[in-house]
């Protein structure tokens, strides 16, 4: 078994980001939402509604509710399963299980090709999301076990950088297939999109095998009793109590929740904002997504180095301030402006600079704040639950504000308040040797 801090172990851990990030970019952000939108539009009725489970739905609303439901499922099951995983010492088995669920579900999206198979698209969108986010809980929980605290910023950033690089490569391949299907021997762009779903699943599952080969299992040599489910729930109770008496963890998680409301909502709604509010064509939206990914690599690298010099908390504050600026810039954009597409490209670059950085720093900062413990999966499940609830809350707030203001711009501006609150809360996070 490779020792903590071993370069080969760190590379293997970080490589899971390369494997799974194709889901978050190609499926969650770029190709599948566009495919879903165009396909549902083809069988929507005169009121632009589609029928599902005997009810008429706006297609976008149905998709948002589908994702929100998957996040709530993960938020409910991950603390329970992580408590069991910590008790029996088998995070790797759970990582493999969720990865298999996610990758197979993505491949099953291939069979979503019309109104009669809408249930396939909805069901496997839910299962793929559960697989992805469920695996992330156990993947993140390995960080304290593969890297020493002083190296965790760089290691966390390395994962995000690999993830951005891999997903960019596959997205470019996918876009070439979709825009030039005949060149690849495919009958249509729709078929190319469906082939992409298969490729994403194979990529995710295939490259994950490299991670599995080197990640340790049962690091603390735990020997579980037969009543491991009950004992796992007891582990959950112990960690929950520990969180209550550690103000630095409590304040960090509250701050993490508030800025995640803004970050995740902006990431999920940026494409819709560009198309609906600014009237930008699909080509521009895809190009901006690529800009975000490219700049994200640079941002994750720069802020991991910056945190070495000025500390995690100060670095996080800088990223939060830039996110607040993103909200202001988005509010000031208007489709009537000349060259609004260029402004949107600039906004995408600004988001890219801090998107990977804030996610990477959040993961490593939380890892550094943890007490000496063997319950890493359980602690990180609370981190994951915080993010999932923030996503659901952010989507609800965003939708409610659109309903009362009739504008996404006012909704985005309001998200800036969450960044300001989180900025203040970070001042209450305790300092450690590696977190300043």
pLDDT along the chain (436 residues), means of 10: 85 95 88 87 84 86 85 83 71 92 97 94 96 90 87 90 93 92 92 96 97 78 53 62 77 92 84 79 83 90 90 93 94 86 91 91 89 73 84 82 78 91 89 53
Q: What pLDDT was estimated at residue 374? A: 66
Compute the half-sphere exposure of residue 186: CA atoms within 13 Å on the CB side of its CA. Answer: 17
Q: What pLDDT was estimated at residue 435? A: 57
Question: Minimal CA–CA distance to 242: which of 62, 373, 90?
Answer: 373
CATH architecture of 7-218+227-428: Up-down Bundle (1.20)
Are 426 and 316 in contact by the 8 Å Cβ rule? The answer is yes
Total count of residues recorded for the chain = 436
CB atoms within 10 A of CB 336: 8
DSSP β-bridge partners for residue 55:
52
Question: Minimal CA–CA distance to 193: which of 99, 112, 104?
Answer: 112
CA–CA dist 252, 397 (Å, integer): 22
CA distances from 369 to 157, 261, 421 (A): 17, 22, 20
CA–CA dist 59, 37 (Å, integer): 7
CB atoms within 10 A of CB 268: 18
The string of DSSP codes covering 86-114 is HHHT-HHHHHHHHHHHHHHHHHHGGG--S
Q: What pLDDT was estimated at residue 433? A: 47
**DSSP 8-class letter at 329:** H
Go through 378-390 and write b for each residue having 16 or more CB atoms within 10 A of its CB, e for each that does not: bbbbbbbbbbbbb
Q: Is 51 helix (H, G, I), strand (E, B) or coil?
A: strand
CA–CA dist 289, 346 (Å, integer): 12
Query: pTM for the whole thing?
Result: 0.83
CA–CA dist 191, 110 (Å, integer): 9
Q: Which helix (H) or strand (E) holds 56?
A: strand 55-57
Q: Which two tokens stand for residue 207?
A: 């490259």
Helices 118-140 and 7-22, interaxial angle, to 10°?
160
């Amino acid at each position: 078994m490779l020792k903590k801090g071993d370069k080969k172990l760190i590379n293997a851990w970080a490589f899971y980001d390369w494997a799974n990030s194709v889901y978050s970019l190609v499926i969650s952000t770029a190709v599948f939402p566009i495919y879903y939108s165009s396909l549902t539009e083809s069988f929507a009725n005169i009121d632009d509604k589609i029928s599902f489970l005997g009810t008429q739905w706006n297609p976008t609303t149905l998709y948002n509710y589908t994702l929100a439901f998957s996040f709530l499922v993960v938020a409910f099951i991950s603390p329970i399963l992580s408590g069991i995983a910590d008790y029996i010492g088998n995070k790797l088995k759970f990582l493999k299980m969720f990865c298999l669920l996610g990758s197979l579900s993505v491949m099953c999206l291939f069979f979503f090709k019309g109104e009669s198979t809408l249930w396939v698209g909805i069901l496997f969108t839910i299962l793929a999301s559960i697989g992805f986010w469920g695996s992330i809980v156990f993947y993140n929980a390995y960080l304290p076990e593969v890297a020493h605290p002083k190296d965790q910023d760089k290691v966390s950033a390395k994962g995000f950088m690999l993830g951005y690089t891999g997903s960019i490569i596959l997205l470019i391949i996918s876009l070439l297939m979709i825009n030039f299907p005949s060149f690849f021997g495919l009958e249509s762009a729709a078929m190319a999109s469906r082939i992409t779903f298969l490729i994403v699943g194979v990529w995710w599952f295939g490259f994950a095998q490299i991670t599995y080969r080197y990640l340790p299992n049962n690091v603390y040599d735990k020997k579980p009793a037969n009543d491991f489910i009950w004992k796992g729930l007891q582990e959950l109770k112990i960690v929950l109590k520990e969180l209550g008496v550690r103000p630095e963890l409590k304040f960090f998680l509250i701050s993490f929740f508030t800025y995640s409301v803004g970050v995740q909502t902006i990431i999920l709604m940026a494409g819709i904002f560009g198309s609906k509010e600014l009237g930008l064509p699909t080509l521009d939206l895809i190009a901006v997504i690529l800009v975000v990914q490219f700049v994200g690599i640079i941002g994750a690298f720069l802020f991991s180095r910056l945190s070495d010099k000025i500390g995690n908390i100060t670095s996080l504050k800088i990223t939060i301030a830039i996110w607040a600026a993103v909200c202001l810039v988005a509010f000031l954009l208007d489709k009537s402006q000349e060259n609004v597409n260029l402004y949107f490209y600039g906004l995408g670059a600004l988001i890219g600079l801090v998107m990977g950085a804030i996610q990477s720093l959040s993961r490593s900062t939380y890892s550094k704040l943890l007490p000496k413990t063997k319950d890493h999966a359980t602690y990180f499940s609370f981190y994951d639950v915080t993010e999932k609830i923030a996503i659901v809350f952010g989507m609800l707030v965003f939708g409610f504000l659109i309903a009362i203001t009739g504008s996404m711009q006012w909704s985005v501006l309001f998200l800036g308040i969450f960044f300001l609150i989180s900025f203040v809360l970070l001042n209450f996070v305790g300092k450690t040797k590696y977190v300043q």
